[in-house]
Amino acid sequence: MTSERTNEGRSVRTPQEIVARANERIQGTFAGVLGMEFTHLAPDRVEATLKTRQEHKQPWGIVHGGAVMTLADTVAGAGAYMNIDRGQETVTVELKINLIGAVRDGTIRAEALPLHRGRTTSIWETRITDETGKLIAVTLSTHLVLDQHPL
């Protein structure tokens, strides 16, 4: 499937193109180096996965909370970004996590849903689960909307 043109002459990307573009954009960033991969991006839901590797683990063989937090922050931030206007950017200003379960191996999945999408802030809840659907962590994040300023 390819992009289509709207009446205003702007292209509208397909859901698959949006996911592919997001995965390209995170290459070379912290999220990309960790190996996370977006699987769904829409203004009302964002999903991504992370295949655990040895480098993600703390010394006792459990996936480090920092890796889980990075996955959660990245999907919620992408959701906030999906809801802003051209000429705006968004940054995380608060992020809280409850680590509920441990993961040693496999793939973890994050799903972020908006609780609030306003003009100046958005609030997202992200749930992290393992391959069996077991809840690993829940995060709550606040994202500030800013006007872009040239550097």
Given 1.10.10.10, 3.30.70.141, 3.10.129.10, 3.40.309.10, which CATH number is that of 4-147? 3.10.129.10
Q: How long, in residues, is the chain?
A: 151
Domain ranges of the chain: 4-147
pLDDT tens string 68-106: 999 999 999 999 999 999 999 999 999 999 999 999 999
H-helix or E-strand spanning residue 23: helix 15-25
Taking the model in full, what pTM does it have? 0.89
pLDDT tens string 36-70: 999 999 999 999 999 999 999 999 999 999 999 99
d(CA 105, CA 52): 6
